[in-house]
Amino acid sequence: MQKKAREVIDLLTKQYPQALCALNYQKDYELMIAVRLSAQCTDARVNLVTPALFQAYPTLEALASAQISDIEGYIHSCGFYRQKAADIVYACQKLLTHHGGKVPGSMDELLALPGVGRKTANLLLGDLYGVPGSVVCDTHCIRICGRLGLSTGTDPEKVEKQLRAILPPEESSDFCHRIVLFGRDICTARSPKCDVCPLSHLCAQYNP
């Protein structure tokens, strides 16, 4: 499995040399907020919403002191806006009161923030701190790794554990970003483009 994972990594790296996060941000807390907004929402939609939000609230302090109802107005189109708005304000408050205004760099501290689960925490650890072994199990990752036979099941935490066992820790974060690009471009949920897929020979579900 480790050998197969290595081949998948090499092919995805060739296909997508730049393993970049699809969410736009300039500050650490902006990435935290963008990832929270991306739940049940596309990254493209989040990137349309966040510029106005961050312009209206240009500092962490401004977001922490904002009225939740005002935040709701900016993020309404992202869905689940009431809970997301509350999480944003409370998480920003906690960054100020408990972490000196910085997104913390440990899993336990991140999971204690409102609205932050393992997917968000792993992304923040990988992108902000370069922590090895940061595996972001989103829907693309779970779907594609299942198709490739790198993992089984759909429980994010279980898939994360399986992938940690076979992915080189220093490659994990970039691998997950490339999986997202691959999932949007080729290995889509409903109509995967198997005829042009560079990984078809490794796919457990490919049936030419």
Domain edges within the chain = 2-20+134-202, 28-129
Residues with Cβ within 8 Å of 31's Cβ and at least 6 positions away in sequence, in order, are 21, 23, 25, 103, 123, 124, 127, 128
Closest CA to 131 of 87, 164, 178: 164
Convert the pLDDT of each residue in 156-195 to its tens digit: 999 999 999 999 999 999 999 999 999 999 999 999 999 9
pTM, rounded to two decimals:
0.92
**What is the model's pLDDT at position 204?**
81
Which of the following is catalytic: 28, 87, 119, 127? Answer: 119
119 is catalytic: yes
* Catalytic status, residue 87: no
| CATH class name, domain 28-129 | mainly alpha
> Hey, what CATH class is 2-20+134-202 in?
mainly alpha
